[in-house]
């Protein structure tokens, strides 16, 4: 999967389409998922153009990587799920069913989330 500069998250970062912002810093933006699958469903994205976690870890600076990881923890605490529990998901590539080719972590919580994967 290559980086498509017209992907929906790139458009959000450029301010071309709106988002419900949860958190922002120099390197990271977090916003509400448009089709939430749990009471808390926030997407955390780096501001740089990275497709996946492996792409990010290969190319991003240590400052970007630190900010991205810290933002996930901040979002969990700000969303009130740090105590009750939450799940972080990075769908990647075809088998991971990634729809948007810009790295994102889903932070999900606010209810019991069941098994990590459905049984085959």
Q: Is 115 in the site for ligand AMP (CB under 6 A)?
A: no
Q: How far is the CB of 118 from ligand AMP (least distance, A)?
A: 15
104 is catalytic: yes
Q: Are 43 and 104 in contact (CB under 8 A)?
A: yes
For ligand AMP, which residue of 33, 47, 53, 65 counts as binding (CB under 6 A)? 33
Among 19, 30, 38, 51, the residue binding ligand AMP under the rule CB under 6 A is: 19
Indicate the SS3 state at residue 61.
Answer: coil
Taking the C-alpha atoms of residue 85 and residue 45, their distance in angstroms, rounded to an integer, is 21
Q: Which residue number, 78 or 100, has a Cβ lying nearer to ligand AMP?
A: 100
| Active-site residue identified among 27, 57, 97, 104 | 104
Assess 47 for contact with ligand AMP (CB under 6 A).
Answer: no
Verify binding: residue 66, ligand AMP, rule CB under 6 A: no
Distance of CA 43 to the CA centre of its chain: 4
User: Are 43 and 30 a contacting pair, CB within 8 Å?
Assistant: yes
Assess contact for 48 and 60: CB atoms under 8 A: yes
The first and second tokens of residue 69, run together, are: 């990881």
Give, as one character, the DSSP assignment of residue 20: -
- To the nearest whole angstrom, how small is the minimum distance from the Cβ of residue 82 to ligand AMP? 21
For residues 79-98, which are near ligand AMP according to CB under 6 A?
91, 97-98
- Using DSSP bridges, classify how beta strands 40-46 and 86-89 pair: parallel, antiparallel or unpaired: unpaired
The least distance separating ligand AMP from the CB of residue 77, rounded to whole angstroms, comes to 21
**Active site residue ranges:** 104
């Amino acid at each position: 999967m290559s980086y498509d500069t017209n992907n929906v998250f790139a458009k959000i970062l450029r301010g071309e389409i709106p988002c419900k912002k949860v958190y922002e810093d120099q390197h990271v933006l977090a916003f509400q998922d448009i089709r939430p699958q749990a009471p808390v469903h926030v997407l955390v994205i780096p501001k740089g153009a990275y497709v996946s976690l492996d792409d990010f870890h290969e190319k991003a600076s240590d400052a970007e990587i630190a900010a991205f990881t810290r933002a996930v923890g901040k979002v969990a605490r700000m969303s009130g799920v740090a105590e009750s529990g939450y799940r972080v998901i990075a769908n990647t590539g075809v088998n991971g069913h990634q729809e948007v080719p810009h790295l994102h972590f889903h932070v999900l919580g606010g209810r019991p989330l069941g098994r990590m994967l459905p049984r085959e």
